[in-house]
Structure 1
Amino acid sequence: MLAVTQTDLRTNIKQLLDNVSRNDDTVVVTRSNRENVVIISETEYNSWQETNYLMKNEINRKALLESLASNNRGEGHVLTPEDWEKMNG
């Protein structure tokens, strides 16, 4: 994560935005006497939106949390793309 001032943002906007989109960097724009602003890539934003959507539903939330707990207990199994295709092909 990189913190920049509004002036730095104006001066270096192309480079900063390129870094955000290419490298999934996060830029915090610090602002005098105002709330800071965070710049993230569209991919990161969409990922957060999907997570928020899935976590809103109690059934989904419980299933996801149980899946994580199961995996943390060593009970999980990671599928390769080929395994997935065999199961769903």
Structure 2
Amino acid sequence: MDSVSVNQFRENLKHFVEQVVSQHIPLKVTRRNGEDFIIISAEDWEREQETLYVLQNNSLMQQISASMTTHTQGSGYLPSNEELDEIAGV
């Protein structure tokens, strides 16, 4: 993650915002008093929130773990060709 001073950020606000939004890389802005902050795009923030929700939800994590186990063992559910067509929108 790149880091800039608050003065650099203020002087080049448009550039840094465009960079954060287009490259999906957060930017750390440092202040003299040591209270730094992070600039992140709204899309990336929402994605982070979804990830945190899943990681904090024990039931979902257990389902993911069980799914990974059956997948690696080759014993998971196999949809029919009709179901695959429906999923793919064919």
Q: Which residue of 2 aligns with 1:7?
A: 7
SS at match of 2:12: helix
Q: Deviations over 1:27-59 (max 9, x none)?
A: 100111232101111111011111111222211
- Structure 1 segments, 4+ long, off by >2 Å, are 62-71, 84-89
Match of 1:45 in 2: 45
- Segment of structure 1 superposing worse, 51-60 or 16-25: 51-60
Residues 53 and 17 (structure 1 numbering): CA distance in 2 closer, same or farther, change over 3 Å?
same
Larger Rg over CA atoms = 2
Normalised by the length of structure 2, the TM-score is 0.70
1:54 is aligned to 2:54: yes
Gaps of 5+ in 2: 75-82
Q: Give the root-mean-square deviation of aligned CA atoms.
A: 2.6
| Identity in percent | 26
Unpaired stretches in structure 1, ≥5 consecutive residues: 76-83
What is the total number of aligned residue pairs between the two structures? 80
| TM-score, with structure 1 as normaliser | 0.71
Amino acid at match of 1:3: S
